[in-house]
Amino acid sequence: MEWKQQLNDYIKLINNELERYISLKHYKNRTLIQAMEYSLTAGGKRLRPILAIASYELFNSNVERVLPYACGIEMIHTYSLIHDDLPAMDNDDYRRGKLTNHKVFGEGVAILAGDGLLNYAFEIMLQDAVKHNDMRRYVESIKSIAEGAGINGMIGGQIVDIESEGKTIDKETLEYIHLCKTAALITVSLKIGAIIANADEKDIKNMETIGENLGLAFQIRDDILDIIGENEKMGKNVGSDIKSKKSTYPSLYGLDYSINKVKELALNTNDILKQYNKSSFLFELNNYLINREY
Amino acid sequence: MEWKQQLNDYIKLINNELERYISLKHYKNRTLIQAMEYSLTAGGKRLRPILAIASYELFNSNVERVLPYACGIEMIHTYSLIHDDLPAMDNDDYRRGKLTNHKVFGEGVAILAGDGLLNYAFEIMLQDAVKHNDMRRYVESIKSIAEGAGINGMIGGQIVDIESEGKTIDKETLEYIHLCKTAALITVSLKIGAIIANADEKDIKNMETIGENLGLAFQIRDDILDIIGENEKMGKNVGSDIKSKKSTYPSLYGLDYSINKVKELALNTNDILKQYNKSSFLFELNNYLINREY
């Protein structure tokens, strides 16, 4: 199958599943569900759940086993964007070309919609885990997701990011932000795909390494695109990092070095992927991500 | 043992355990940990973890088995207060006589500290669960906690609460807010104590019923105290519900009816507790809560 066809099939599968999870009976809490649904269906690239499923498929079939966890990760990613966009944080009015959650529903509802998505992610994953007689690898996966999303992962990256606003930061701090804020959840997506597929320790470790490379490359590419990208394709204002005096990979290391760094990380990933028979999709996705223009 | 002595012993045990969980090695995320610790150690009554432990002790010994879950619930309760106090929500400057989180750390950090506590609650509970060979009852407990804290529990109550601000609401809506916003997490505290203690289905159900009664009674008592309490003891401004035109149990049903309702709920609880040998602590705590003056 063409890899782009596979990509679209994955996205369709994930969107259907997310739609099913968020089509909730509501009672008095209707606004909350609407606000959660608004951001969850606002055209995300679904990168993290795609990676979780693709990693799973390297080692096993019956893809529905990994779906609740792939969707849980996407909900966690979505909540982090809602909170990140708030006036007290990045104060963004648009995301993916659509009004941000708080611009539509107000700040109070947006905060709760974020809380709701984070909490609901754990609900759906735990509700799935208890259905399995041998639940260990599912529970280990939820634990890994919690750690990747947590104070030494994504939220840790967020706090350092907002503290660094308007300041010049050193390379070590930028590395911390990139690895925690972006790479941690991408890494855990690839990792839990392998765990749920019952892969070996060594293979799980390989998926983690790919995640770190890919997560870092993805974020550096994002920084590069903020300089060279086109407004329309990005769905947000290009040059916003420069305007907000944000330290980025290109601003600390230069554009050429950054472009080379992305290539180097991509090569490392492809080296690992070579070991696996069914890795052509991840191989193509990796190359696509580092060359993308939006 | 005097029940007040037992109460203090429980509080000490919980505070030590929370202190241990929050004494984290930090790296670049120091502000986040500090903000989380600030609210977690800001003098909470520890009602929910106390109920979890007391429920556990009706059926089993080795109280350390329930501690990570009792602490997880307290972290979830604390995050909900941090977010509830934000300007976009209740806009409170003080809680328990101390400045609220965002008044000390700023709104952005307060939002992330709340997110951090919710996520960390799941981390510590899941890290404990995977240590057990037979992990089912621990995972079932985390699932129940996620449901009680979620969009059909605490967060559901929160959204209806902020939507009802400045409006007169009907009795059904008030019931929803009270049952979800306050009673759901109290109910799940008593429930998971019994689950982790390996109690029978019937006993788990009894603990849930006690939780609903006690949670509702506790919230109505809170509403009553907003009218008749003393500023100093409450650590917040008495009469604030009236000033904000908030619909409360006394405003919809009258003060006398509300006082009688609390008594009725307390009697129901005591009726159930009579069946259990070691229930004197919960019996005394129940009577104390409905008669408390702050």
* Residue A24, pLDDT score: 81
* Residue A290, pLDDT score: 85
Task: Give the tens place of pLDDT for each residue, B237-280.
Answer: 566 666 667 788 999 999 999 999 999 999 999 999 999 999 99
* Residue A140, pLDDT score: 98
Q: 3-class DSSP state for residue B98?
A: strand
- State what percent of residues in chain B have pLDDT above 70: 94
ipTM topping 0.90: yes
* Residue B165, pLDDT score: 86
Q: SS3 letters for A172-205?
A: HHHHHHHHHHHHHHHHHHHHHHHHHCCCCHHHHH
Q: If you compute the radius of gyration of chain B from its CA atoms, what whole number of angstroms results?
A: 18
Mean pLDDT of B155-163: 96
CA-closest candidate to residue A126, choices B189, B138, B79, B185: B138
Report the residue of chain B nearest A129, measured CA to CA.
B139
Report the residue of chain B nearest A145, measured CA to CA.
B123
| Measured distance CA(A160)–CA(B29) in Å, rounded | 6
Contacts of A173 in chain B (CB under 8 A): 28
C-beta separation of A53 from A63 below 8 A = yes
C-beta separation of A65 from A193 below 8 A = no
Which residue would you say has higher pLDDT here, A2 or A110?
A: A110
Average pLDDT of chain B is 93
Domains, chain A, in order of start with CATH, read 3-206 (1.10.600.10)
| Measured distance CA(A209)–CA(A188) in Å, rounded | 10
Mean pLDDT of A280-291: 92
Mean pLDDT of B126-131: 98
Residue entry with tokens 């929050």:
B22
* Residue A27, pLDDT score: 83
Rounded to a whole number, what is the distance in Å from the CA of B25 to chain A's nearest CA?
A: 10
Reported confidence tier of residue A227, pLDDT bands at 50, 70, 90: confident
* Residue A65, pLDDT score: 98
* pLDDT tops 70 at residue B235: no
Distance of CA B201 to the CA centre of its chain: 23
Among the ranges given (A287-291, B195-199, B209-213, B225-229), the one the predictor scored with the smallest mean pLDDT: B225-229
Task: Give the tens place of pLDDT for each residue, A95-139.
Answer: 989 999 999 999 999 999 999 999 999 999 999 999 999 999 999
B123, B139, B156 member nearest A135 (Cβ): B139
Which pairing describes strands B98-99 and B94-95: parallel, antiparallel, or unpaired? Answer: antiparallel
